[in-house]
Every structure is written in structure tokens, then in C-alpha cells.
Amino acid sequence: MPEITVSDELCTKVPALKLSCIECEVVLQSKNEELWNLVETKVAELAGKFQVDEISSIPAIAASRKAYKACGKDPARYRLSAEALLRRVVNRGEIYQINNVVDALNLVSISTGFSIGGYDAEKIKGDVVFGIGREGEPYTGIGRGELNIEGMPVFRDATGAFGTPTSDSERTSVTRKQNVF
């Protein structure tokens, strides 16, 4: 696993920040029935538990929204991935089935309220710094195209930005058998 540090700027703006990282080898499957059954059960449970306007007060989401504001980003305009997933669950009673790795990450996100990023460790170059996005910094989010990451918490390696709590990047996306960070 690469060395992972948090920038002084981010530590100053979000002093209560906690970061956890796991690296593991996975075998990508288009669908895992047992996992998908767990996802569907959790979606059904959560769909009736919250109203849309209550999602932002879930402790993990509220803390992450506060961090976005401290960094200079509007969390209502650039939603956290966990918040966006929970809004889909409450509004539509569903989330997209992608593959076993993404589905597992999404299950953790909707269960905890934390935005969980998944990255192909082989595509990460050098050490990683968790910092704040800069003006004009290039970033292509999965399924989102170019994303303005200025003022957003962001992971960077020697190549540049590769992950935010709003959207993982195409550059480090999980696409085949690999180590996942």
C-alpha cells in the first residue's frame, strides 16, 4: 500500500477528519447473487426508514457536509456519494447494480452514511495525499465527465487527483481483477 498522508491544509480546515484505508485483492464479477440480496434487503429497509430531508442529518453525512463547507464546496451542489445513494434509495427504492466490488462499497456507504471510494491500486502512482482540490485541477468522475473539484476533499498521487467523496475517477476505476485500495 502506498504511504497515505493528509495535507496540512485539510487537517487545519477539518481537524476531526478520520480516514481509513484497506487494500485487498479482489476478483471482479458482474454480479454476486448473495451480495446483491444483501444490497436489496438493505435498500428495502432504508427506503422506508428516512424521508429525503432527513438524510443530511445522518451523523456521517452531516459531518462530511460540514467538511465540504469548511473546504469551500457546496455539498448541496456537489453531493457526497453516500448522500446521493441514500437519496436514490429513499426516492426510488433502488440503487444501480454495477459489479461485486462497487456493489459491496455501495452497501457499506448506504449502511454507514460514509462515502466509500474504491480504486485500482495498480493505477495509483507513488504515495497518496488527501488534500483539497485546486482551481482548474483536472478530474474526470465516473459517469460524470469533467468535475470541478476546487474546494473538495481529494486524493492525489504522482499523476494527479483520483478520488473524491463525490465521485471516484475514471483513471483509477475498478475494472478487472486487481488490488483495490
For 49-97, the pLDDT digits (tens) are: 999 999 999 999 999 999 999 999 999 999 999 999 999 999 999 999 9
What pLDDT score does 15 carry?
96
> Binning pLDDT at 50, 70 and 90, where does residue 176 land?
low
Residue 180 banded pLDDT, cuts 50, 70, 90: low
Res 179: pLDDT: 52
CATH code, domain carrying 87: 3.50.40
- Each residue's pLDDT tens digit, 93-113: 999 999 999 999 999 999 999
Find the domain containing 148 and state its range: 4-180
Encode pLDDT of 112-131 as tens digits: 999 999 999 999 999 999 99
Give 134-162 pLDDT, tens digit per residue: 999 999 999 888 999 999 999 999 999 99
Q: What pLDDT was estimated at residue 128?
A: 97
* pTM exceeds cut of 0.95: no
Q: Is the pLDDT of residue 37 over 80?
A: yes
Print the SS3 string covering the chain: CCCEEECHHHHHHCCCCCCCCCCEEECCCCCCHHHHHHHHHHHHHHHCCCCHHHHHHCHHHHHHHHHHHHHCCCCCCCCCHHHHHHHHHHHHCCCCCCCHHHHHHHHHHHHHCCCCCCCEHHHCCCCEEEEECCCCCCCEECCCEECCCCCCEEEECCCCEEECCCCEECCCCCCCCEEEC
**Considering its fold, how many domains does the chain have in total?**
1
For residue 175, the model assigns a pLDDT of 78
Q: Is the pLDDT of residue 178 over 90?
A: no
